[in-house]
Amino acid sequence: MVFDTATLQHGVEGYLIRGGTSKGFFTSPDTLPSDPDERDEVILELFGSPDPLQADGLGGTHTHTSKLMLIDEADRSNIDVAYEYAQVGISNPTVDWTGNCGNLVSAVGLYAILEGYVTPVEPMTTVRIYSENTDSIIEQEVPVAEGEPNPYGSYRIDGVPGTGARIQSRYLEPGGGILGATLPTGSPVDELVVDGESYDVSIVDATNVTVFLRAADLGLTGTESPAELEAVDGLLEQLEHIRGQACMELGLIDDPANAVDHRPTMPFIAVVSAPQSYETTTETTVTASDLDVTARMISTQRPHHAYATTGAMCLAAATRIPRTVPHEVISEFNDKVRIGHPKGAITIGVDTAQNADSIRYVSIGRTARLLMSGTAFYRDLERVN
């Protein structure tokens, strides 16, 4: 018997792809409704949200596995493809289109080759990518073998088992892509008063927007694991209150309490400290001498298992801006920034100038792999209880 599921459900053709330490569903814009509100409802249905387990959808129960990429041929010269990224809520019914995901971006070139937007050239294919989210351009080098993206190689990234082919991405002129200026408040340090306490923060917009604090100002060492951060009584709520106040200072919301619903993803919030040695969550040791800065990041109200790539690039850029909180703790200045996170370290290439207006690029090496291609299904929204 041939059973046609599409008679009762709607199909969306796409790919499940791991990019860096994230995983997401990649498809083209024309597979989803054109009305933004209806589109978001369909996406929530596809991912099984809101539900902490996302048991009835594609989502993987963590922020780094609940992501969507819409990719299409670019309508601008010298650009191959354009993408729009969404962070899909897990327990909250939100689809946030305001940020970016550098991990998933590492797989955009792979998708472009699979879909025929770019002709594969061995051993390396250059893909020029436009980000709708951040109004920026990324140059990406995708390893190719036998006419398709090569999943094999010796490059290793902390947070992903095994090795793969290195995909190098360079983000050109990363400052101000979301809020219009690298320092959107005009100052390298701002004082936020939250729940009667004063905090020094640096708000930086470079590939993504991040609010940086000193770990010590929160009573932290800066080397805590995600589980240890979650175990600190009231810490995540405190950080969300600070993030909400920053959102209001930036003019993104009218009430800090609304940030969790209306701006759940962007800006990130992170704590930084000087290089330190510590044990990772993968039972390895990070040595202070191998780092330039230690950092922990919160994404959609939960500690990140490693460190979001765009967040890492923002941090790297921030270390080059005099008087910011990250600039204070950086160990040395060269053409790379080594960031210690819960699973190890991530290295970001960055322009060596220390003037905020002269950050020409940030770059990173990642791996990516096609996991599945096929049809994802969602039900008629009016029939879903």
Q: Which pair of tokens denotes residue 213? A: 């604090």
* Residue from 149, 235, 249, 142 nearest 193 by CA: 249
* pLDDT of 150 strictly over 70: yes
- Burial class, 341, CB count within 10 angstroms (exposed 0-12 / middle 13-18 / buried 19+): buried
Question: pTM for this structure?
Answer: 0.82
Confidence band, pLDDT 50/70/90 cuts, at residue 261: confident
The stretches of the chain forming alpha helices (DSSP H) are 36-47, 102-105, 108-114, 226-231, 235-249, 259-262, 309-318, 325-329
What was the pLDDT predicted at 352? 61
The answer to whether 23 and 67 have CB atoms below 8 angstroms apart is: yes
The tally of CA atoms less than 13 A away on the side-chain side of residue 241 is 14
Task: Report pLDDT for 23.
Answer: 97
Length in residues, the chain: 385
Buried b (16+ CB within 10 A) or exposed e, 28-54: beeebbeeeeebbbbbbbbbbbebeeb
Question: Structural domain boundaries of the chain?
Answer: 5-173+368-382, 190-359
| Token pair recorded at residue 268 | 């990130």
Tokens of 6: 């599409």
Q: Is 237 exposed, middle or buried (0-12, 13-18, 19+ CB in 10 A)?
A: exposed
- Tell me what percent of the residues of the chain surpass a pLDDT of 90: 80
CATH topology of domain 190-359: Diaminopimelate Epimerase; Chain A, domain 1 (3.10.310)
What does the pLDDT look like over 101-141, one tens digit per residue? 989 999 999 999 999 999 999 999 999 999 999 888 999 99
Residue-wise pLDDT tens digits, 201-252: 999 999 889 999 999 999 999 999 999 999 999 999 999 999 999 999 999 9
CA dist list (Å): 158 to 20, 30, 73, 150: 9, 35, 32, 20
Spatial separation of the C-alpha atoms in residues 252 and 5, rounded to whole Å = 42
The third-level CATH classification (topology) of the domain covering 5-173+368-382 is Diaminopimelate Epimerase; Chain A, domain 1 (3.10.310)
pLDDT of 1 over the 50 cut: no
11-22 average pLDDT score: 96
pLDDT reading at 2 higher than 50: no
For residue 7, name the pLDDT band (cuts at 50, 70, 90): confident
List the one residue out of 331, 340, 326 whose CA is nearest residue 281.
340
- DSSP class of 89: P
Q: Give the count of alpha carbons within 13 A of 329, CB side only.
A: 27
CB 14 within 8 A of CB 25: yes
Nearest to 256 by CA among 272, 243, 239, 244: 244
Q: What is the pLDDT of residues 23-80, one digit of tens each?
A: 999 999 999 999 999 999 999 999 999 999 999 999 999 989 999 999 999 999 999 9
Cα distance between residue 249 and residue 193, in whole Å: 11
Number of helical (H) and strand (E) elements in the chain, helices listed first: 8, 21
- Kindly tell me if the per-residue pLDDT of 334 is higher than 90: no
Query: What count of Cα atoms within 13 Å lies in the side-chain half-sphere of residue 106?
Result: 27
Name the DSSP letter for residue 254: S
Q: What are phi and psi of 187, to 5 degrees?
A: -130, 145
* C-beta neighbour count of 13 within 10 angstroms: 11
CB-based burial label for 112 (10 Å; 0-12, 13-18, 19+): buried
The gap between the terminal CA atoms of the chain, to the nearest Å, is 30
Give the confidence band of 353 by pLDDT, cuts at 50, 70, 90.
Answer: low
Under DSSP, is residue 170 helix (H, G, I), strand (E, B) or coil?
strand
Q: Which two tokens stand for residue 76?
A: 């601008």
pLDDT higher than 90, residue 264: no
| Structure tokens, 343 | 């699973």
Q: Is the pLDDT of residue 289 over 60?
A: yes
pLDDT of residue 299: 86
Per-residue pLDDT reduced to its tens digit, 89-98: 999 999 999 8
Checking if the pLDDT of 185 tops 70, the result is yes
Domains 5-173+368-382 and 190-359 share a fold: yes
Higher pLDDT, residue 360 or 245: 245
Q: What pLDDT sits at residue 102?
A: 87
SS3 14: strand
Position 351 scores a pLDDT of 79
pLDDT score of 270 more than 80:
yes
Q: Residue 268 burial by CB count (10 A; 0-12/13-18/19+): exposed, middle or buried? A: buried
Tell me which residue of 187, 223, 212, 198 sits closest to 319, measured CA to CA.
Answer: 212
